[in-house]
Amino acid sequence: MSESDKYPEDSGRRRFVKGVVGGAALAGVGATGATAINSATSSTGAGGGTTEAYAIENVAGPAPRGMPQIPIEIDDEGYLKGVWPEVKTVEENGVSVQVAETENYKGTGVTYSSEWFQYCGVESYAGLQPDYDSDNYFVVGSNPGYEWMSDLSQGDRLNVSMFDDYQDWGNGIGQAGLGKPATGTWRSQDAEDTIPIQVIRSEKIKQMAENDPWIKASTQDGFMAWLNKCTHFCCVPGYKQTEDAAKFDAADDVYCQCHQSVYDPFSIVQTLFVARPRPES
C-alpha cells in the first residue's frame, strides 16, 4: 500500500482512513472559565492534525492539559450512557473514509469527535473504532473506586437512582455535599482494553449548565462524565479517592497520585490537540 493510499490529502477535517484514526498529544496552557482555551504548540506526527475538545481543566501538576469530557444522556429507565459521535462513511479521493463526528452538537456550534479521546494509547483501543458495536452505557468496572459501589457487580449499568444522595454524599475526603462520583468503563464490551471513565452528579454542574450552552447540551440532571486517563503519564486519577490529595490542596479535585496532577471537575475548558494517526490493525 502506498503512503498516499494510507493518508489521503488533508481537507481540514480530522478523519479515520482504512482503520487509521487520529490520536492526540497535547501541550496545553491552563486557563479558567467554561470557555477558556488551552493551546497546543507541539508538532504533529505523520498524518496528524488538530482538533478542539472540551475537558475538565488541569489546574496543577505536570499534566499538559485537561481530560476530555464525554457528553451524557439518560435513557427512559434512568441509565447513564455516553454519547458517541455520528458515524458515516464517505468517499474522498477514491478512498473510503469513516468519520465519527457530530457537527454543531445539539446546536452549540461545537464539533464533537471521537478524536477527543485519542491519546495515551486509547487511540488504539477497539472501543475508539468509529463503528465499534456498543450500546454506549456506562458500566461498573472490575475495580470500583468507591465503597458505596461495593455491592455492585462488574458490568452493572450506572443508574440515576444510585446517586439519590448526591447532595449530601461524602467519604471523609474533602468537603461533603459537593457531588457523588462513580467510576466505570465505556465502549469496552468484549474488548481487550477497557476505556476508564469517571461520572459525577452535582448541584454545581446544574448551575454551570444554566449559563453555558455547551455544558447544558453535554450534561443532564447534574451528571457529567470524562475519560479518566491522566494526560501526563496515562495513569487513572480519582475524585475523592485518596487522602493524599489534601497534601496538594486537591481534596475536592480530581487528583492523580502518581505525579500529583490535579484537575478541576467544575471548570470545563477548551483544549487544542495535536493529533497522531492510530496504528493499523
Residue 89's pLDDT band (boundaries 50, 70, 90)?
Answer: confident
Q: What is the mean pLDDT of the chain?
A: 82
Of 19-28, 110-119, 163-172, 240-249, the poorest mean pLDDT is in 19-28
Measured in whole angstroms, how far is the alpha carbon of residue 217 from the centre of its chain?
15
Alpha helices in 53-129 (DSSP H): none
- Range in 47-61, 95-109, 209-223, 248-262 the model is least confident about: 47-61
Q: What is the pLDDT of residues 145-199, one digit of tens each?
A: 999 999 999 999 999 999 999 999 999 999 999 999 999 999 999 999 999 999 9
> Residue 203: phi, psi to the nearest 5?
-65, -30
Q: What is the dihedral of CA 244, 238, 57, 207, to 10 degrees?
A: -110
Give the pLDDT band of residue 28 (cuts 50, 70, 90): very low
Burial class (CB in 10 A: 0-12, 13-18, 19+), 93: exposed
CB 157 within 8 A of CB 138: yes
Q: Residue 275 — very low, low, confident or very high, per pLDDT cuts 50/70/90?
A: low
d(CA 58, CA 192): 29
pLDDT at 8: 32
pLDDT of residue 97: 67
Mean pLDDT of 112-136: 90
Residue 13, pLDDT > 60, answer: no
